[in-house]
Amino acid sequence: MNIAYFLIPKSKVAFLYDDFTFRQGLEKMRHHGYTAIPVISRTGQYVGTVSEGDFLWHLLQNVQDDTQVLTIKEVETLQVRDILGADKYPCVHITVSMDDLLTSAMNQNFIPVIDDLGNFIGIVTRKDIIRYFSEKGKGQTSLPLVRRA
């Protein structure tokens, strides 16, 4: 099965540019009601995914370092790329298998998809992957038995 069938294209996905300000990023996430959102460069390259936690941890880091709380002016100069942590939402290539996609979905709500040049082309949601495997499983005549110890 080709994952392009499940792909929500970039044109229908909310994302942030890596040069957006801290405030712009939070506002867009709040507007859409997301807890995590893909981040791309102005050239379309997938940079990572930023979560509410990344914003919060960055604010808390400043407090723990005994620096003053960020002012509105500082929040306007801080960019989304400055708060990106380790990418907890690794991307996959459009040619990935459904089994590999399922493995990725175990740890993330959505999977960013890139083309061969590293350009962000959309996402596949965990919901769609579960639906696919659920419908595929209904076609089986019997389910394997699971023994509990």
Q: What does the pLDDT look like over 98-128, one tens digit per residue?
A: 888 988 888 899 999 999 999 999 999 999 9
Per-residue pLDDT band at 72 (split at 50, 70, 90) = low
Q: Which one is the CATH code of 3-131: 3.30.70.270, 3.40.50.300, 3.90.25.10, 3.10.580.10?
A: 3.10.580.10
DSSP for the chain reads --GGGT-EEGGGS--EETTSBHHHHHHHHHHHT-SEEEEE-TTSBEEEEEEHHHHHHHHHHHHHTTPPPPPHHHHHH-BHHHH--S-SS--EETT--HHHHHHHHTT-SEEEEE-TTSBEEEEEEHHHHHHHHHHHHHTSSSPPP----
pTM of the model: 0.81
Task: Give residue-wise pLDDT tens across range 73-106.
Answer: 777 788 999 898 777 889 999 999 888 898 888 8
